[in-house]
Amino acid sequence: MAKVLLLNGPNLNLLGEREPDIYGLTRLQDIETSVRELLEGAGHACGSFQSNSEGLMIDWLQENRAADFLLINAGALTHTSIALRDALAALQLPFLEIHISNVYKRESFRHHSFLAALAIGSLVGLGIQGYDLAARFAIDFLKQRNAH
């Protein structure tokens, strides 16, 4: 059994009511439940956290450093946070970056990610389905890792 982390950053607590034309109507709690069910169904544990605070996100990552994989939607911190990038570099936790919206179709300040170069890959613009797809990838990744 492995442990997979799901971390959401600023304003993602408002999913379902925040700019629904961009982010849809599904609430974060439902996304977390869906990801958890997928992971638990594959025999893994899932820890999830959301914060509007960069520091609390970094603290949570450090506290959970023993995990095996991370799914992260850092929200706007993606485009601004060298501190979060450094935290991910320090932990050496394999991770996927998720964005509900296609950030490349939006304002140019959303086109750069401080996290992307450290990630295995990014799921961008797939709506909330990106979370489930990322969880499925994590399950496959962990299966392959355990086979070696």
Give the residue, chosen from 81, 101, 113, 122, that forms a contact with ligand DQA under the rule CB under 6 A.
101
Residues 53-82 that bind ligand DQA (CB under 6 A): 73, 75-76, 78
Residue 14 in tokens? 């408002």
Residue 146 CB, shortest distance to ligand DQA, in Å, is: 30
Q: What x-and-dash track marks residues 16-55 binding ligand DQA by CB under 6 A?
A: ----------------------------------------
By CB under 6 A, residue 128 contacts ligand DQA: no
User: Listing from the earlier edge strand, what are the strands of the sheet with 45-50?
Assistant: 45-50, 3-8, 69-73, 95-99, 121-124
16's CB contacts (< 8 A; 6+ apart) are 24, 25, 26, 27, 28
Q: List 69's β-bridge partners, or say none.
A: 4
- Catalytic annotation on 131? no
Residues recognised as catalytic: 23, 99
